[in-house]
């Protein structure tokens, strides 16, 4: 797919950025990605098709992507992240970017989850579970193949995108049980997005399907994942709440200042806009019965699926987080943790949790 960037004439202006956004909207409305759905990865991790609706889900390790898949995913991520307001259009314009440069920085074990409609190969939802960077090149860990895998609590370790870009390393290390985990057993849910340019009757179901698939992979013991970390804004917290998923949030974590050359938009650094979170695999296991109900609802025909999902999500069987809940949890600390995705809205602290 040929991409169009408006011709640059001096300093970037509002109309130029609006034109770029319009180009992205137009291209993403038309974009089909057969390479992501029909070209086998070198080593496919997961593939499923819902017979009732035609939804198709693919999960692939970053290291197994073909060059064509990397190119297609790079375009999709750049344009969709910009349409979501995550990437700064002015930076994209000034750098003349055609693909997401951060895709190339994903560690090999990163998992890309793509959900779309099988007949036309449209991407309706995309999730990225980013692995920790290889640690052999970090400080003293490079000295021996038998060196201890660094823990979340360690200062000299690879850091995750949410730590590098926004919150630093102290936020997740403030939970003792999480802090004790090796970094290769912790993945970052870097993004969960619904296609911002395409209106589809399967759009919301695709987003739910993506989260369900992520839960399947994380709960698979062969994957070796003990926790998901990341940061989310209010809209995503609302979706996760509708699924009843056990999540711990820290809404007051200090946000770093935006680096002058950051690709991320200014809003990504607004204090309180995005909250760091953690989900324990152990807690997801306790939510397995409800996930089974969700799987059954997603297996229905398109019309029945809509109704089934509406009914199921109206009254989710909520599971409270347990595995990482700290024994001490000071509500006045910048690193206090809560399972309330809207903490502070009602000006109460009813959902501050402690074990």
In the chain, the number of structural domains is: 1
Q: What is the pairing mode between strands 227-232 and 186-194?
A: parallel
**Alpha-carbon distance 79 to 197, whole Å?**
10
Please give the pLDDT value at position 109: 95
Please give the pLDDT value at position 141: 43
* In a domain? residue 346: no
Q: What is the pairing mode between strands 248-249 and 227-232?
A: unpaired
Q: Is the pTM of this model over 0.85?
A: yes
* In a domain? residue 350: no
**Alpha-carbon distance 97 to 91, whole Å?**
9
Please give the pLDDT value at position 6: 52
* In a domain? residue 143: no
- Domain coverage including residue 255: 29-137+150-314
* In a domain? residue 354: no
Partners of residue 278 on adjacent β-strands = 229, 248
User: What does the chain come to in residues?
Assistant: 355
Please give the pLDDT value at position 14: 87
Q: How many CB atoms lie within 10 A of CB 305?
A: 24
* In a domain? residue 319: no
Ranges in the chain, pLDDT < 50 = 2, 7-10, 137-146, 347-350
Write the CATH number for 268: 3.40.630.30
* In a domain? residue 351: no
* In a domain? residue 167: yes
* In a domain? residue 336: no
**Alpha-carbon distance 102 to 74, whole Å?**
9
Please give the pLDDT value at position 354: 57
Name the phi and psi angles at 210, rounded to 5.
-60, -45
Kindly give the residue spans of alpha helices, DSSP state H, lying in 139-253.
161-162, 170-173, 176-179, 203-219, 234-242
Please give the pLDDT value at position 134: 79
């Amino acid at each position: 797919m040929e991409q169009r960037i408006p011709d640059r004439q001096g300093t970037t202006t509002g109309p130029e950025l609006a034109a770029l956004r319009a180009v992205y909207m137009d291209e993403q409305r038309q974009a089909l990605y057969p390479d992501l759905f029909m070209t086998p990865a070198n080593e496919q991790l997961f593939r499923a098709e819902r017979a009732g609706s035609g939804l198709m889900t693919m999960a692939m390790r970053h290291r197994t992507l073909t060059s064509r898949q990397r190119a297609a995913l790079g375009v999709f991520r750049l344009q969709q992240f910009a349409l979501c307001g995550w990437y700064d259009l002015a930076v994209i314009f000034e750098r003349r970017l055609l693909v997401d440069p951060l895709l190339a920085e994903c560690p090999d074990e990163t998992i890309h989850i793509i959900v779309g409609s099988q007949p036309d190969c449209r991407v309706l939802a995309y999730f990225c579970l980013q692995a920790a960077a290889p640690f052999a090149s970090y400080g003293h860990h490079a000295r021996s193949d038998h060196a201890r895998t660094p823990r979340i609590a360690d200062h000299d370790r690879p850091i995750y995108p949410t730590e590098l870009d926004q919150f630093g390393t102290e936020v997740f290390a403030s939970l003792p049980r999480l802090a004790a985990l090796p970094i290769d057993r912790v993945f970052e849910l870097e993004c969960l997005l619904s296609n911002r340019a395409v209106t589809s009757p399967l759009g919301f179901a695709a987003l739910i399907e993506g989260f369900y698939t992520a839960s399947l992979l994380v709960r698979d013991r062969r994957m070796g994942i003990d926790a998901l970390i990341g940061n989310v804004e209010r809209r995503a917290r609302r979706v996760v709440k509708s699924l009843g998923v056990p999540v711990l949030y820290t809404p007051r974590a200090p946000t770093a200042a935006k680096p002058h050359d950051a690709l991320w938009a200014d809003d990504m650094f607004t204090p309180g806009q995005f909250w760091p979170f953690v989900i324990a695999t152990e807690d997801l296991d306790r939510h397995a019965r409800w996930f089974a109900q969700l799987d059954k609802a997603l297996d229905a025909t398109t019309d029945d699926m809509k109704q089934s999902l509406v009914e199921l999500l109206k009254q989710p069987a909520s599971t409270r987080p347990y595995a990482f809940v700290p024994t001490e949890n000071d509500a006045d600390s910048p690193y206090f943790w809560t399972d309330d995705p809207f903490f502070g809205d009602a000006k109460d602290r009813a959902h501050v949790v402690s074990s």
